[in-house]
Amino acid sequence: MTATVPSPDVLRAPLVVEFPFTRSLGPVQSAFLTGLREGLVLGVKTSDGTVMVPPVEYDPRTAEEIRELVEVGATGTVTTWAWNGLPRPNQPLDTPFAWVLVTLDGADTALLHALDAPGPESVRTGMRVRVRWAAERTGAITDIACFEPYEGPAGPGAAPHAGVFAEPVTGIVAPARLDYTYSPGRAQTAYISGLSEQKTIGERCPSCHKVYVPPRGACPTCGVATTDQVEVGPAGTVTTYCIVNIKARGLDIEVPYVYAHIALDGAGLALHGRIGGIPYDQVRMGLRVEPVWTEGGRYPDHYRPTGEPDADYDAYKELI
Amino acid sequence: MPRTSRHARDVAVVAFAQSDHLRRTDELSEVEMVMPVLHQVLARTGLKAGEIGFTCSGSSDYLAGRAFSFTMTLDGVGAWPPISESHVEMDGAWALYEAWVKIQTGEADTALVYSYGKSSPGPVRDVLTRQLDPYYLAPLWPDSVALAALQAQALIDAGETDEPSLAAIGARSRAAAEANPHAQLRGPVPQGDYQVRPLHTGDCPPIGDGAAAVILAAGDTARRLCERPAWITGIDHRIEAHGLGLRDLTDSPSTRTAAERAGVFDAPVDTAELHAPFSSQEVVLRKVLGLGDGVAVNPSGGALAANPVMAAGLIRIGEAAARIHRGESDRAVAHATSGPCLQQNLVAVLEGDPA
Ligand SMILES: [Zn+2]
């Protein structure tokens, strides 16, 4: 096995991606999930009589729209299984369990879920199981807490169901969170490390000699690695700007303020930053600015006028 | 001329390059990982980035953990002056399909196809659950190994394999990978404990980072760029119903249909590069592709030796083509998959000119 020890020189930080996907339901999925909330399992019957559980809205073989709902049993038969000795976060049970595909009594297709069983020896294909309902049900697949072994008579089979409920579930919110460890790579590590010393480090393309800041490791024009590190700035020139009139949530800056493109001296392209220390309506193209660092800040808080004369337009027109 | 081409234009893989596939590459951003591979594949043809007619890439924002992540690697292809470019949020094999279509339309004579994935930053088993049906499956977080294990048990129940046979597939793959300097796992690897029973560690792919690139070219351009082009005489991809419980997991009708349409069964193949991240999936693919003992299956080591997500399928096409380039194969089948339990499958037939 290849070594898994991370390189000590590279920066890394936790990166959490979290999102609550809000999804609307069609008539069939709505009936199915509302049925789960009410403690019963619905499927759909295709034109050839196949009962699909969980239900789909279109026959995967013919693409015909399917709307004929039926109620099936909460008991069924395992068609295949896999023993999960080390449950992962968010899975239905936090103790070892079996993943199972279960064909419920009255259904012709199988539903994926978890089976609570004492160990792999107690699970086999063909074993009988029944739904264990969640204590609190909201209209989601997790209203089935899991399956459990069941020694009893088979259910009565599929029975017609109108699929009509009071207060049907019309949507689900599916929260998801993924935890990453982000590493910015060689070029951006050098840039971020430079900022910690209040230096702005760009990288020069060996082919076209343009200095990229922040560097991403490649010259997008030449498609080659940028390798030579170059300190740019600290002063620079406003190449263009805009006046922000809408306050962003959580941002402690009075509006209006100016956000500008700033070509640091020696850089081959402009980066962007806020302009402070001057009334917003006096900012102009060609204004000479320098970074202002706050105590413990990891990047310039804003840029302020240096007091030098404005740069000549020809000096920065290539960088707009 | 390729022997069995049935398309408007003769299109070939003329060059292939790949990174060394590693457990982690923290010191490299995605573009830093991809760029050397792009330079290698261009160098093999002598083409400059600006001479490529069409560029298409495959990758996944969910692996990267951020939106529009593919735009970062565009810096590595020299996208100025503006180039004709596209991206698929899929394995690069599907990017190759798009590029092949582009050449068939006559809008390009050459194409650069690349793909990459870094699985090291996130928990890839959990990340891949986000590609599942969001109503019935994703809320249960069934991970990629669990879903493959359900398929493996179905095969065992059907009498089509058993645990020792599965272990032998992993062992054979990693032994083959000893000749592949890019592979992540080479040589003997302990079969290990159950990950999700019946699959052991040795039945599962390594988790790692990597990239690959190929260059496609049409007709005489291909002959000029490559001594023995690997002509794509057929290519097709198919998908099956989304619901796992609707499918017979011991079969892969989508692979069979794609193979028929690609012409796999028109003549014998001598090489098969199969994208089977789990040992049990090779059992299914061998069956539906009708591969006999005389066929060299995954001489590169396959996905059990290196499985950079989003690149492993493109690598199968590249490895098959490289064998034709080297004269080690005359007619090869390459397969790529995406989704749980072989849900989506792409099949290509590659042929070299007769000696
Ligand atoms: Zn350059």
ipTM over 0.90: yes
Which residues have CB under 8 Å from B42's CB, separation 6+? B15, B48, B49, B112, B215
- Per-residue pLDDT, averaged over B114-121, amounts to 96
Local structure of A273: helix, strand or coil: strand
**CB-based contact B185 A120, cutoff 8 Å:** no
- Per-residue pLDDT, averaged over A112-132, amounts to 97
Residue of A nearest to B144 (CA): A88
Q: Does B184 touch chain A (CB under 8 A)?
A: yes
Pairs of residues, one from chain A and one from chain B, whose beta carbons lie less than 8 Å apart: 211
Residue of B nearest to A175 (CA): B139
pTM: 0.94
**CB-based contact A89 B185, cutoff 8 Å:** no
Rounded Cα distance, A100 and A80, in Å: 6
Query: Closest Cα of chain B to A228: distance in Å?
Result: 15
Query: Is residue B6 pLDDT above 80, yes or no?
Result: no
Residues B241 and B248: beta-carbon distance below 8 Å: no
- What would the pLDDT profile of B271-282 be if each residue is shown by its tens digit? 999 999 999 999
Which residues 251-310 of B have a C-beta within 8 angstroms of A?
none
Residue B230 bridge partners (DSSP): B13
Among residues A110, A145, A128, the alpha carbon closest in space to that of A36 is found at A145
Average pLDDT, chain A: 93
CA of A212 to the centre of ligand 1 (A): 9
**CB-based contact B196 A82, cutoff 8 Å:** yes
DSSP A154-213: PP---EE-----SS---EEEEEEEEEEEE--HHHHHHHHHHHTTT-EEEEE-TTT-PEES
Q: How would you classify the pairing of strands A228-232 and A200-204?
A: antiparallel
Contacts of A183 in chain B (CB under 8 A): 26-27, 121
Which of B57, B114, B246 should we substitute to test contact with A (largest number of A Cβ atoms within 10 Å)? B246
Nearest to B65 among A17, A23, A224 (CB): A17
CA of B42 to the centre of ligand 1 (A): 17
Q: What letters, b where the CB count within 10 A reaches 16 and e where it falls short, cover A120-158? A: beebebebbbbbbbbeebebbbbbbbbbeebeeeebeeb
Rounded Cα distance, A138 and A90, in Å: 17
- Per-residue pLDDT, averaged over B301-316, amounts to 98
Please, which residues have CB less than 5 A from ligand 1, an ion?
A: A 205, 207-208, 219, 221-222
% pLDDT > 70, chain A: 98
Nearest to B23 among A4, A54, A90 (CB): A4
Query: Is residue B140 pLDDT above 60, yes or no?
Result: yes
The tokens describing B121, both together, are: 């930053």
What pLDDT is attached to residue A3? 42
Element spanning A224, H or E: strand A224-225
% pLDDT > 70, chain B: 99
Element spanning A78, H or E: strand A75-84
CA distances from A255 to A41, A259, A260, A273 (A): 56, 11, 15, 15
CA of A207 to the centre of ligand 1 (A): 5
Query: Is residue A296 pLDDT above 90, yes or no?
Result: no
The tokens describing B100, both together, are: 């092949």
Q: Let me know if A318 is exposed, middle or buried by CB neighbors in 10 A (0-12, 13-18, 19+).
A: exposed
What pLDDT is attached to residue B5? 64
Tell me B162's DSSP state.
-
The tokens describing B341, both together, are: 């339990």
- What would the pLDDT profile of A300-314 be if each residue is shown by its tens digit? 999 999 999 999 999
Which residues 118-137 of B have a C-beta within 8 angstroms of A?
121-123, 125-127, 130, 134-137
Q: How confident is the model at residue A113 (pLDDT cuts 50, 70, 90)?
A: very high
Q: Nearest 5°: phi and psi at B79?
A: -85, 25
Q: How confident is the model at residue A10 (pLDDT cuts 50, 70, 90)?
A: confident
What pLDDT is attached to residue A247? 87
Rounded Cα distance, B324 and B351, in Å: 7
A307 CB neighbour count, 10 Å cutoff: 7
Query: Is residue A172 pLDDT above 50, yes or no?
Result: yes
The tokens describing A290, both together, are: 């320098």
Q: How confident is the model at residue B16 (pLDDT cuts 50, 70, 90)?
A: very high
Rounded Cα distance, A9 and A188, in Å: 12
Which residues have CB under 8 Å from B172's CB, separation 6+? none
**CB-based contact B121 A81, cutoff 8 Å:** no
**CB-based contact B29 A216, cutoff 8 Å:** yes
